[in-house]
Structure 1
Amino acid sequence: MNVAFFLIPKKDIVYLKEKSTMRQALERMEYHSYSAVPLIDNDGKYVGTITEGDLLWKLKNTPGLTFHNTEDIHLSEVEQHVQNLPVTIDAQIEDLISRAVVQNFVPVVDDQQTFIGIVRRREMIEYCSQLLLQRKVE
């Protein structure tokens, strides 16, 4: 089974452009109750994942930075402490599972590294659970 079976397409998820501001990220993450969001560049390429922790570290380590002036800081200026490595659309379930151990979601890209969506850990766990239940019945 490949990634396409689990893919949540880009149009159905929250992501941010790396030129978005910290304030936009904070507000969007709060509104959707997300702790991490994929980042893409102007060409639609996946460039990383921004986390609440990344934003908090930037706030803590930047003298004079407050919530009110986070609108002056672009996400490209925020260091990413966690690297959510993407998989390509033709990856297999085994490739996803190893990443899901440490990532809430796995970004999916096409052959040109264009971001096309994510696979959430929840769907992978549900799939594995169904497989185990089927084996139990047999």
Structure 2
Amino acid sequence: MNIAFFLLPKQEVICLTMQTTLRQTLEKMEFHRYTAVPILNDDGTYAGTVTEGDLLWYFKGLKDLNFETAHRHSLSEIPLRIQNRTVRIDSNMEDLIALAKAQNFVPVVDDMDKFIGIVRRSDIIEYCTAQLFKEEATS
């Protein structure tokens, strides 16, 4: 089994850039019901992950910032509190699982460090659960 089995490809992942406005970020997160979204650099490399908490703390710290003025601010201004680590597509499953224990999703990069998708922790858990029940059914 390799990481590609679990990969949700980049084309199916909602991603943002550092130039994305806070309003756009909030609207995408609300529409897709996500609590965290990957951010990519212009060259396609993974820049980080923005979370609801990052946005809340930023809003709390700026008294004149509200939803109506959020289009004046970009993600480049937001301190990212959590640094999701990436895994290379050719890494072993142990590396993936070690990261997935602490991250809702693991960003996956290719051998040139270009973002190619994510692996969701929920997909790993679903797979392991299915394997566990399969083993129990055969014993």
TM-score range (shorter-chain normalised) is over 0.9
Amino acid at match of 2:63: P
Aligned to 1:127: 127
Aligned to 2:55: 55
Give the secondary structure class of the aligned counterpart of 2:96: helix
Aligned to 2:4: 4
Give the secondary structure class of the aligned counterpart of 1:63: coil
Query: How far apart in 1 are the matches of 2:45 and 2:72?
Result: 23
Moved more, 19-28 or 55-64: 55-64
Give the secondary structure class of the aligned counterpart of 1:116: strand
Instruction: Map 1:87-98; keep pairs closer than 5 Å.
Output: 87-98=87-98
Moved more, 25-34 or 100-109: 100-109
Number of equivalenced pairs: 138
When normalised by structure 1's length, the TM-score is 0.94
Shift of 1:130: 2.3
Q: Give % identity.
A: 51
Question: Would you say the 8 A contact 1:19–1:41 is kept in 2?
Answer: no
Aligned to 1:78: 78
Give the secondary structure class of the aligned counterpart of 2:68: helix
Q: Are positions 1:67 and 2:64 aligned together?
A: no
When normalised by structure 2's length, the TM-score is 0.94
Shift of 1:9: 0.4
Amino acid at match of 1:34: Y
Shift of 1:30: 0.2
Amino acid at match of 1:29: M
Question: Would you say the 8 A contact 1:108–1:117 is kept in 2?
Answer: yes
Runs of 4+, deviation exceeding 4 Å: none
Give the secondary structure class of the aligned counterpart of 1:29: helix
Q: What are the Cα deviations for residues 81-113 of structure 1, in whole angstroms up to 9, with x where unaligned?
A: 111111001122221211112211110011121
Shift of 1:13: 1.3
Shift of 1:32: 0.4
Shift of 1:67: 1.4
Query: How far apart in 1 are the matches of 2:12 and 2:74?
Result: 24
Shift of 1:69: 1.1
Name the Cα RMSD after superposition: 1.1
Segments of structure 2 that go 5 or more residues without pairing to the other structure are none
Segments of structure 1 that go 5 or more residues without pairing to the other structure are none
